[in-house]
């Protein structure tokens, strides 16, 4: 029984660009990624790009939430 193992060095040489990885991360945040596309991403995404993209996506999400809360509180909408 032979299983193929991918090392981290091999995985970092995958062909998708950082922009394509960010697009996959963006759609994943919404939870609307098709199963077929997700399978293709797993085979092609660079894990280093994925980690950086996930952290950037989470940071942007938190900043947007903070700005939204500050706007609601200062505008008096939350009275």
Query: In the prediction, which pLDDT does 64 show?
Result: 95
**If pLDDT is split at 50, 70 and 90, which confidence band does 60 have?**
very high
Read off the pLDDT of residues 40-55 as tens digits, 9 standing for 90 and up. 777 778 788 888 888 9
- Percent of all residues in the chain with a pLDDT value above 70, rounded to a whole number: 73
In the chain, where are the structural domains located?
8-75
Apex CA 61: angle with CA 37 and CA 68, to 5°?
140
Q: What is the pLDDT of residue 18?
A: 75
pTM for this model (two decimals): 0.64
Closest CA to 45 of 68, 28, 20: 20
């Amino acid at each position: 029984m032979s299983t193929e193992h991918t090392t981290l060095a091999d995985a970092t040489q995958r062909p998708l660009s950082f922009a394509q990885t960010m697009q996959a991360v963006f759609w994943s945040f919404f939870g609307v990624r098709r199963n077929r596309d997700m399978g293709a991403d797993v085979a092609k995404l660079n894990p280093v790009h994925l980690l950086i993209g996930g952290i950037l996506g989470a940071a942007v999400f938190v900043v947007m939430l903070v700005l939204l809360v500050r706007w609601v509180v200062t505008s008096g909408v939350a009275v």
